[in-house]
């Protein structure tokens, strides 16, 4: 029988932008879907986010960025995760992110980008599927 | 007690009621309703039809009156838009001040009648562009301002004694420096403070309950900064609106129409009490307290909301604070069309959406219409211009400006105005019973209220109960974006170069003296605006002011949701 394990997600809002309605709504939706959510609030530096992810042993990090600073912030976080040997952590995000940049971020290793108008159920099923796939790959490689 | 003067006599009301009840029993049900329940966006049930029976208790002179007269429900000015129409105040700000200055001039040339300056995230929160915390956000969401020199560049070639400027300084901590720089820049140009017209946002809830982060200023400190600016302007800059209670932003964060108005009024009430405690007469400061509301998607509820807010404010100012000056009793406000209602999908639909939201039918004093691309990026020149043109079409072509409060007397609008008033007053009483707005922030009550309302709204969108065209209905799969997106110009290096030069050239003894004076002012609980205006003249940066204040007031971790 498959072991039931609670998915743990860190949600963070890097930078000084204050638009936090979206991320708070996502936090509640993920909790209602049975996940454990650590929400660290605004003003988080990439270093703080990666450290929290490490300490909390999360499966994934979701970043919300509406300021336009997504390219700089995502690349820094991905680099830091690699540095700490955490590159199998699922990184996803949301906010005001134009289609061209979404492609760029995905090429960089970001799993998925959810923009304004996304149904939270879509995020829930994405996380479940992506993490299941990751765990399968891990088991195989072991 | 004055005898009751109802609009309709009892005999007529009885006849109408009987006939109406019969209609509702026998005629209306002969056809099928397309949905079970009809309600406003904030959840007030809407009936099939409204008639005089809904206004049986209404006393025209007591409850509505005439424009420019008590209780100001029909409008705060005698002529309203037949005299002067609303100010077309389009929000603008991005990159370094050199770039935003060009956009201001472009909008003024195209017919904008006021400036609405928005600042980047570091400036709003009191950081310099070069602060390590700011690295990714400089020039984003608004214009970067670090010193009084930036303020000079921002308004270069714009006559400060002729144009009114709204400074969208949401957080009191950013406001204290930015507003000081605006005043200091005017003084350097020898424009007397008495000539300056404008508004600062300066709302402590923006720091402590909306857009919340760890380690912000404690609610009491932020509230003090806000009141300091109001007190300072009351004494020295008499035509400046030193606060614009930012209901719009509470709404964007998730509030309903009822919460939006209740929270701003509770905030305004707390500020008024504090200013009176500081020895100011209510009629000295109240005429300059101003409000900022959202223009959301429920057309009639929003109109009723503005009218209800005017009536509650009038009664509060008169009965609670004993205000006598008609300008203290009249609630003046700016409207921005709801950013939350904009969609990233099929963005050109936002032109129609924002036009419906502009709602000057509720009697706004100034309006910003959102640009169609705001769910995707900072507005381009074309999208800003289209938004400005939408205002001009509304004003010049539709003739909605030709009579005052054109929906006044509508059975539905009046009934909704009354219902909203009742709900808002009930919520105000709840906040008061809790110990007031500052307490409600300290306890984390307001944070929960806002995030629960936002979540409920999301659930309504996802269930389809709240249709949004292009999002949960009439979607286009694999849509190709039909608009050009704006790219923010390089800002950090531009700001860094200026900051380095200023720091090298300024008189460091004067800077140290100014910073010491700020600390001393904190210790004796003086008015910080008095000393910060002087400090920025000595080229103290915004970040340096903030650091000094943080050293004294410490930080606070608000409940995150």
pLDDT in tens, B476-509: 998 888 788 888 889 999 999 999 999 999 999 9
The answer for A 50-109 residues in CB contact with B (under 8 A) is 67-69, 72-73, 96, 98-99
Mean pLDDT, range A120-136, rounded to an integer:
93
With an 8 Å Cβ cutoff, are A16 and B135 in contact?
A: no
Confidence bin at A89 (pLDDT 50/70/90): very high
With an 8 Å Cβ cutoff, are A39 and B210 in contact?
A: no
Confidence bin at B211 (pLDDT 50/70/90): confident
Answer whether residue A116 shows pLDDT above 70.
yes
Mean pLDDT, range B389-414, rounded to an integer:
96
Classify residue B432: in a domain, yes or no: yes
pLDDT at position B1: 55
Classify residue B374: in a domain, yes or no: yes
Taking the model in full, what pTM does it have?
A: 0.94
B121 interaction partners in chain A (CB closer than 8 Å): 15-18, 67
- Which of A14, A21, A41 is closest, CB to CB, to B253? A21
Classify residue B175: in a domain, yes or no: yes
B251 interaction partners in chain A (CB closer than 8 Å): none
Answer whether residue A142 shows pLDDT above 70.
no
Expressed as residue numbers, the domain containing B122 is: 95-244+475-561
Average pLDDT value for chain B: 95
A28 interaction partners in chain B (CB closer than 8 Å): 451, 455, 561
Classify residue A97: in a domain, yes or no: yes
Sign of CA dihedral B353, B357, B361, B367: negative
Mean pLDDT, range A91-96, rounded to an integer:
94
What domain count does chain B have?
Answer: 2
φ, ψ for residue B91 (rounded to 5)? -65, 135
Residues B216 and B320 in one domain: no
Sheet holding A8-12, edge to edge: A36-39, A8-12, A60-65, A90-95, A112-115
Classify residue A66: in a domain, yes or no: yes
Classify residue B470: in a domain, yes or no: no
End-of-domain residue from the set B410, B430, B461:
B461
Which of A14, A18, A76 to mutate against chain B (most B CBs within 10 Å)? A18
B252 interaction partners in chain A (CB closer than 8 Å): 19, 21
How many angstroms from the chain centroid is the CA of residue B473?
A: 30
DSSP, res B281? -
A122 vs B: CB within 8 A: no
With an 8 Å Cβ cutoff, are A120 and B462 in contact?
A: yes
Mean pLDDT, range B139-166, rounded to an integer:
96
A67 interaction partners in chain B (CB closer than 8 Å): 121, 136-137, 140-141
A120 vs B: CB within 8 A: yes
Answer whether residue B243 shows pLDDT above 90.
yes
Classify residue A104: in a domain, yes or no: yes
Token pair belonging to A40: 């660290």
pLDDT tens digits for range B369-387 = 999 999 888 899 999 999 9
Query: CATH number of the domain that A46 lies in?
Result: 3.40.50.280
With an 8 Å Cβ cutoff, are B124 and A20 in contact?
A: no
Residues B240 and B269 in one domain: no
Classify residue A88: in a domain, yes or no: yes
φ, ψ for residue B45 (rounded to 5)? -60, 140
Distance from CA of A69 to the nearest CA of B (A): 5
Q: Which residue of B has its CA nearest to A11?
A: B560
pLDDT tens digits for range B518-537 = 999 999 999 999 999 999 99
Q: Which residue of B has its CA nearest to A43?
A: B213
A69 interaction partners in chain B (CB closer than 8 Å): 136-137, 140
Residues B252 and B304 in one domain: yes
Q: What percent of chain B has pLDDT over 70?
A: 99
With an 8 Å Cβ cutoff, are A96 and B375 in contact?
A: yes
φ, ψ for residue B478 (rounded to 5)? 50, 50
Classify residue A51: in a domain, yes or no: yes
Classify residue B235: in a domain, yes or no: yes
pLDDT at position B90: 85
Residues B113 and B215 in one domain: yes
Query: CATH number of the domain that B152 lies in?
Result: 3.20.20.240
Classify residue A119: in a domain, yes or no: yes
Q: Which residue of B has its CA nearest to A117?
A: B471
Classify residue B150: in a domain, yes or no: yes
Answer whether residue A17 shows pLDDT above 90.
no
Q: What percent of chain B has pLDDT over 90?
A: 88
Distance from CA of A2 to the nearest CA of B (A): 31
A27 vs B: CB within 8 A: yes
- Which of A25, A68, A69 is closest, CB to CB, to B454? A25
Answer whether residue B415 shows pLDDT above 70.
yes
Q: Which residue of B has its CA nearest to A99?
A: B481
With an 8 Å Cβ cutoff, are B121 and A18 in contact?
A: yes
Q: Which residue of B has its CA nearest to A76?
A: B136
With an 8 Å Cβ cutoff, are A25 and B211 in contact?
A: no
Classify residue A2: in a domain, yes or no: no
Pairwise CA distance, residues B390 & B324, whole Å: 38
With an 8 Å Cβ cutoff, are B458 and A25 in contact?
A: yes
Residues B313 and B403 in one domain: yes
Residues B257 and B375 in one domain: yes
Residues B43 and B121 in one domain: no
Distance from CA of A88 to the nearest CA of B (A): 25
Residues B254 and B402 in one domain: yes
pLDDT at position B245: 97
- Which of B121, B125, B375 is closest, CB to CB, to A116? B375
Higher-confidence position of A68 and B434: B434
Residues B145 and B101 in one domain: yes
Mean pLDDT, range B408-413, rounded to an integer:
97
- Which of A28, A67, A116 is closest, CB to CB, to B140? A67
Rg (alpha carbons) of chain B, rounded to whole number: 24
Q: Where are the alpha helices (DSSP H) in chain A?
A: 21-32, 46-56, 70-83, 99-108, 120-141
A14 interaction partners in chain B (CB closer than 8 Å): 136
Classify residue A1: in a domain, yes or no: no
Classify residue B82: in a domain, yes or no: no
With an 8 Å Cβ cutoff, are B455 and A45 in contact?
A: no
pLDDT at position A1: 45
Higher-confidence position of A48 and A1: A48
Pairwise CA distance, residues A13 & A51, whole Å: 14
Helices and strands counted in chain B (H then E): 22, 10
Mean pLDDT, range B232-259, rounded to an integer:
96
Contacts within 8 Å (CB) and 24+ apart, B42-51: B42/B256, B42/B257, B42/B258, B42/B298, B42/B301, B42/B420, B42/B423, B43/B256, B44/B301, B44/B416, B44/B419, B44/B420, B44/B423, B48/B24, B49/B20, B49/B23, B50/B410, B50/B411, B50/B412, B50/B415, B51/B16, B51/B20, B51/B411
End-of-domain residue from the set B423, B439, B461:
B461
Residues B326 and B429 in one domain: yes
Residues B237 and B250 in one domain: no
Classify residue B81: in a domain, yes or no: no
**Residue B301, H or E segment:** helix B299-315
Expressed as residue numbers, the domain containing A93 is: 8-141
Residues B358 and B264 in one domain: yes
Between chain A and chain B, how many beta carbons pairs sit less than 8 Å apart? 113
């Amino acid at each position: 029988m498959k072991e039931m394990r609670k998915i743990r997600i860190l949600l963070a809002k890097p930078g000084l932008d204050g638009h936090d309605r979206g991320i708070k709504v996502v936090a509640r939706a993920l909790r209602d879907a049975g996940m454990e959510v650590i929400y660290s609030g605004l003003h988080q530096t990439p270093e703080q986010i990666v450290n929290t992810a490490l300490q909390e042993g999360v499966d994934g990090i979701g970043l919300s960025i509406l300021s336009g600073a997504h390219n700089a912030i995502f690349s820094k976080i991905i680099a830091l995760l690699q540095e700490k040997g955490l590159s199998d952590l699922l990184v996803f995000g949301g906010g005001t992110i134009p289609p061209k940049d979404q492609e760029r971020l995905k090429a960089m290793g970001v799993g998925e980008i959810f923009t304004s108008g996304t149904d939270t159920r879509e995020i829930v099923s994405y996380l479940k599927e992506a993490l299941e796939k990751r765990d399968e790959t891990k088991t195989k490689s072991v | 007690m004055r005898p009751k003067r109802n609009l309709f006599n009892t005999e007529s009301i009885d006849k109408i009621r009987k006939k109406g009840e019969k209609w509702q029993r026998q005629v209306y049900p002969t056809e099928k309703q397309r949905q079970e329940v009809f309600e406003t966006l904030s959840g007030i049930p809407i009936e099939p039809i409204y008639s005089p029976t809904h206004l049986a208790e209404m006393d025209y002179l007591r409850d509505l009156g005439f424009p420019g007269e008590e209780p100001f429900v029909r409008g705060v000015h005698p002529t309203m838009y037949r005299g002067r129409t609303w100010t077309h105040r389009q929000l603008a700000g991005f990159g370094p001040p050199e770039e935003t200055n060009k956009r201001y001039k472009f909008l003024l040339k195209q017919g904008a009648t006021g400036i609405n300056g928005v600042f980047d995230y570091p400036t709003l929160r009191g950081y310099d562009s070069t602060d390590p915390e700011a690295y990714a956000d400089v020039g984003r969401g608004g214009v970067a301002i670090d010193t009084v020199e930036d303020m000079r560049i921002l308004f270069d070639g714009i006559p400060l004694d002729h144009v009114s400027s709204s400074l969208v300084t949401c957080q009191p901590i950013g406001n204290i420096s930015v507003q000081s720089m605006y005043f200091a820049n005017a003084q350097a140009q020898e424009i007397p403070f008495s000539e300056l017209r404008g508004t600062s946002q300066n709302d402590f809830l923006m720091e402590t309950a909306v857009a919340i982060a760890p380690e912000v200023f404690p609610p009491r400190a932020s509230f003090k900064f806000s009141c300091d600016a109001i007190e300072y302007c009351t004494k020295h800059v008499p035509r400046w609106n030193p606060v614009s209670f930012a209901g719009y932003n509470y709404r964007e964060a998730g509030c309903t129409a009822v919460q939006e108005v209740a929270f701003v009024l509770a905030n305004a009430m707390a500020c008024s009490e504090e200013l009176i405690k500081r020895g100011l007469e209510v009629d000295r400061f109240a005429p300059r307290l101003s409000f900022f509301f959202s223009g959301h998607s429920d057309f009639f509820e929003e109109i009723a909301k503005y009218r209800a807010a005017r009536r509650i404010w009038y009664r509060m100012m008169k009965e609670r604070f004993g205000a006598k000056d008609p300008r203290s009793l009249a609630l003046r406000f700016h409207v921005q069309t709801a950013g939350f209602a904009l969609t990233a999908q099929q963005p050109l639909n936002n032109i129609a959406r924002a036009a419906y939201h502009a709602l000057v039918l509720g009697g706004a004093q100034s309006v910003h219409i959102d640009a169609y691309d705001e769910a995707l990026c900072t507005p381009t020149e074309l999208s800003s211009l289209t938004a400005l043109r939408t205002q001009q079409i509304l004003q010049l072509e539709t003739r909605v400006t030709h009579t005052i409060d054109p929906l006044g007397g509508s059975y539905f609008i009046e009934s909704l105005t009354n219902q909203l008033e009742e709900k808002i007053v009930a919520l105000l009483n709840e906040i008061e019973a809790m110990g007031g707005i500052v307490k409600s922030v300290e306890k984390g009550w307001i944070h929960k209220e806002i995030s629960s309302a936002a979540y409920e709204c999301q659930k309504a969108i996802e269930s389809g109960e709240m249709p949004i065209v292009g999002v949960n209905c009439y979607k286009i799969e694999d849509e190709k974006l039909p608009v050009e997106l704006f790219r923010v110009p390089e800002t950090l290096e531009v700001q860094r170069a200026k900051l380095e030069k200023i720091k090298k050239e300024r008189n460091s003894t004067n800077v140290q003296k100014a910073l010491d004076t700020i600390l001393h002012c904190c210790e004796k609980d003086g008015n910080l605006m008095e000393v910060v205006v002087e400090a920025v003249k000595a080229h103290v940066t915004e970040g340096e002011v903030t650091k000094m204040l943080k050293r004294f007031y410490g930080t606070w971790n608000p409940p995150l949701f």
